[in-house]
């Protein structure tokens, strides 16, 4: 059976997350329905990252097996036709080896988090940014974020319901910069704990707002206690932007 990797873009607002659940629509269910309508098959769908409710993606990767070989361009266009009106798009269909695994073969995942820092609430970007009505010092947030780069015990930044066997993770890169009224965080690692990025953002925002000193982040990390860190930032501003594999990336056109 030929295996395909799909690169997906989606607006997470109407979904309970990537994974199929009983309490509402999921990205996985929307894609499964489109595949069934397209070719009558119901393959297992394995994603690189199980994005939570309200979290977006511009570079999610999903693999699946089908019974026959199909033209990638035709498959992309047909799936996009059947995905309507769900806010999900297949950007690319890539034939991959039989042993390719969207989750376990990934060498890095990258997320972007966007914060709108102005008094007026968002209209055009509602649900796509975290609205923070006070100005944040992006340079301080960036400097504090560098304390998290490398391999650490991220217990203080994991959700209490996180099911990962170990809190040890390695952050390869973390950048925070201001773009006009927005503050953007970009973070890349091989994998992340549940809510790790949103908890990091919530903590760095306290530094950027002047409510905590720069060195406080190191104290939070050393505490290994979720209650020592800042609040969990809302899902609105979070987007899975890239998944990397040996030889290719989901951001390649």
Domain boundaries, the chain: 3-104, 108-242
Question: Is pLDDT above 90 for 208?
Answer: yes
**pLDDT interval class at 160 (50, 70, 90):** confident
Mean pLDDT, range 86-109, rounded to an integer: 98
What does the pLDDT look like over 104-118, one tens digit per residue? 999 999 999 999 999
* CA 60, 61, 67, 72 torsion-angle sign: positive
Do 3-104 and 108-242 agree at the fold level?
yes
187: alpha, beta or left, given left = phi > 0 and alpha = psi -120 to 50?
beta
pLDDT of residue 194: 96
Alpha-carbon distance 38 to 230, whole Å?
A: 46
Alpha-carbon distance 251 to 54, whole Å?
A: 21
Report, as residue numbers or ranges, the catalytic residues.
52
Token pair in block for residue 38: 């397209």
Mean pLDDT, range 158-177, rounded to an integer: 94
Mean pLDDT, range 155-169, rounded to an integer: 93
CATH of domain 108-242: 3.30.70.660
pLDDT over 90 percentage in the chain: 96
Question: Is pLDDT above 90 for 15?
Answer: yes
Report the 10 Å Cβ neighbour count for 221.
19
Mean pLDDT, range 216-240, rounded to an integer: 97
**The CATH fold of domain 3-104:** Alpha-Beta Plaits (3.30.70)
What does the pLDDT look like over 117-150, one tens digit per residue? 999 999 999 999 999 999 999 999 999 999 999 9
Mean pLDDT, range 213-235, rounded to an integer: 97
Residue carrying structure tokens 């340079």 = 139
- Using a cut of 0.75, tell me whether the model's pTM lies above it: yes
pLDDT of residue 1: 87
32: helix, strand or coil = helix
Mean residue pLDDT across the chain = 96
Question: Is pLDDT above 60 for 253?
Answer: no
């Amino acid at each position: 059976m030929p295996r395909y990797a799909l690169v997906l873009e989606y607006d997470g607002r109407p979904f309970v997350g990537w994974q199929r659940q009983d309490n509402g629509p999921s990205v996985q269910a929307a894609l499964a329905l489109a595949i069934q309508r397209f070719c009558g098959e119901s393959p297992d769908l394995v994603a690189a990252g199980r994005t939570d409710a309200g979290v977006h993606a511009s570079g999610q990767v999903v693999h699946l097996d089908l019974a026959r070989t199909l033209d990638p361009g035709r498959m992309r266009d047909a799936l996009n036709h059947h995905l309507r009106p769900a806010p999900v798009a297949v950007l690319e269909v890539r034939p991959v080896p039989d042993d390719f695994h969207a989750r376990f073969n990934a060498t890095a995942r990258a997320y972007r988090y966007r914060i709108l820092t102005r008094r007026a609430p968002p209209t055009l970007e509602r649900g796509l940014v975290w609205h923070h009505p006070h100005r944040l010092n992006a340079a301080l947030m960036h400097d504090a974020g560098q304390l998290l780069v490398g391999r650490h015990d991220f217990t203080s930044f994991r959700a209490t319901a996180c099911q990962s066997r170990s809190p040890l993770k390695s952050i390869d890169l973390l950048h925070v910069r201001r773009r006009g009224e927005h503050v953007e965080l970009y973070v890349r690692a091989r994998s992340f704990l549940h809510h790790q990025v949103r908890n990091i953002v919530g903590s760095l925002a306290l530094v950027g707002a002047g409510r905590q000193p720069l060195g406080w982040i190191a104290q939070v990390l050393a505490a290994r206690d979720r209650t020592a860190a800042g609040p969990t930032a809302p899902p609105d501003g979070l987007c899975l932007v890239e998944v990397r594999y040996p030889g290719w990336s989901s951001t390649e056109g």
